[in-house]
Structure 1
């Protein structure tokens, strides 16, 4: 290795560094990527919290099927929306979701408030306790 010219040795180290960075990036990406089997939109997992928002395709599919997607900023708001969904008979269960009558809750910690979407309609409120949210979901889901 010492008998190789300096530019080749430098090039070898640059290639090794680039490969190491690419491998590190790939490992990091795999580590933070959401597992769709365990963290599907609306799945409670072990914490009772949806950690990942549905992707654009998932939200579009849920909304097209008639379901409501409600984005909340924290677990407290998620519990309030979950109770509201139960009162409306719109809990996020497979049969209810398949019928297009589910309220799918997505927790986004940086969200400024609660945003509900049904079809092409959208409602933003400060709190999940806002009566307008109940009315919006009931009307949007046909209840």
Structure 2
């Protein structure tokens, strides 16, 4: 088998409604300014996938359409089960709306100060920004 045989190729879709009715959504990612995401893309895609998927915004200019119930928190739960570990043994760091459930689950949830309000509200502590090496600072301070 050639290495490229397993790679999926992009294709142009002329009828999005038909396409959405024939697939299970895994993930769509849109890159755009925060203003366009909040005023155009998010409302549009929330209506289009209502009941089939959920729409979440990563920090800033990234909008994700993912299957219902998909979250980083659920991913961390799966990891904890496989490691026989408890949430109290985990520190999670995040800055986007898509980090909310993970920060809530972790024994210590650290939101970066330049993150979105949704993330900062659920965090246990607010760390430095991405520009100030906030992740590294939190690791050194709390671990």
TM-score of the superposition, structure 1-length normalised?
A: 0.25
Which of the pair has more CA radius of gyration?
1
Structure 2 length-normalised TM: 0.25
